[in-house]
Structure 1
């Protein structure tokens, strides 16, 4: 089954910034829910978050 999807992206800098912020918020919520469901300790959660921040700052990292 094939589905065609049309995406209308924001045309202004403000709109793009708002979209980026909303996507970041949703990603953070998903990560938080995942870690809570896994039963990680606070220390393990902090370590995972620090690793994600470090990885994101690594310019050689590709999605």
Structure 2
């Protein structure tokens, strides 16, 4: 099974810095924060629903809440 949200690059900035910058309107920081966490959100959801398509949809729903 392939994780569609796998991200090979890791952020140098801490979550606290990224969140602060995103709150101030920095869209790049928000994107970086999403890329940093979407894979583990997807994996948690997949373990709950056992359906990759549903897990993708639910992951997007979680990330929209940001």
TM-score class, shorter-chain normalisation, is 0.3 to 0.5
Tell which has more relative contact order, 1 or 2 (C-alpha 8 A, sep 6+).
2
Which structure's CA Rg is the greater one? Answer: 1
TM-score by length of 1: 0.37
